Amino acid sequence: MSRMTLALFDDPPREAREPLGPGAFVLPGFALPFVDALLPAIDALTARAPFRHLVTPGGFTMSVALTNCGALGWTSDRRGYRYSATDPDSGLPWPPMPGTFARLAREAAAVAGFDGFVPDACLVNRYAPGARLSLHQDKDEHDYGAPIVSVSLGMPAVFLFGGLARTDKAVRVPLAHGDVVVWGGEDRLRYHGVLPLKEEPHPLLGALRINLTFRKAA
Ligand code: MD3
Ligand code: FE
């Protein structure tokens, strides 16, 4: 068969920006041109601020391991959730946010209609097979006017995108290596989570998923 005929059976092209809500968009593959710069930067920052499994105020140890870079980092212990300028494990400031991280976040936010996004916090989540994030809202930031930008790397995940009440039905959004999601405006406080990760090793990252979550926390 000719190439022309075979082309009819290709997957349809994914749009540059797929709306999930009035202020939420998936940007399929938006981070792919940044991956070669992101991976060594993640290795460098996790050498200074290693991944750790935090305990929630309720006393559960999170299955997701995390660390941070930027002026502020999200952390949790028995006393509550908070942003901190220092890594509680070392007492040192979090590693600075690499320039490529900030550029990726700013450019992705602009595609979704949020110009001038300057994140001061980047939470780095690491998922091994079976790790999950139960439904929650991101409410520890001061300015809900700023969006959140999330970058998926490595193994695929199924993201749960709920409503403004915990019991609202959640839609399942498959996220692949290089996908970016921007959440803002009236979607900023929606419940969300990540289903337990299946083991589908990725050529670059092996049996891991890494998610970069950019926020304006202060
Ligand atoms: C939807 N992490 O760390 S951010 C988190 O895949 C977290 O690790 C996700 O949720 C992960 O808190 C990626 C996804 C996200 C963030 C904020 C939202 C989704 C959102 C706000 C409103 C709606
Ligand atoms: Fe969240």
Q: Is the pLDDT of residue 11 over 80?
A: no
Provide residues with CB under 6 Å of ligand 1. Answer: 123, 125, 133, 138, 148, 150, 183, 187-188, 190, 192, 194, 211, 213
**Domain 19-215 is found in CATH 2.60.120.590:** yes
Cβ burial 145-156 (10 Å sphere, 16+ → b, else e): ebbbbbbbbbbe
The crossing angle, in degrees rounded to 10, of helices 35-48 and 99-111 is 130
Cβ burial 18-32 (10 Å sphere, 16+ → b, else e): eebbebbbbbbebbe
- The closest ligand to the CA of 66 turns out to be 1
Phi (first) and psi of residue 187, to 5 degrees: -95, -5
pLDDT tens readout for residues 39-96: 999 999 999 999 999 999 999 999 999 999 999 999 999 999 999 999 999 999 999 9
The protein residue with its alpha carbon nearest to ligand 1, atom 23, reads 190
pLDDT tens readout for residues 19-45: 999 999 999 999 999 999 999 999 999
Residue 188's Cβ-count burial label (10 Å; 0-12, 13-18, 19+) is: buried
Q: Domain segments of the chain: what residues?
A: 19-215
Phi (first) and psi of residue 189, to 5 degrees: -105, 20
Percentage above 90 pLDDT, the chain: 92
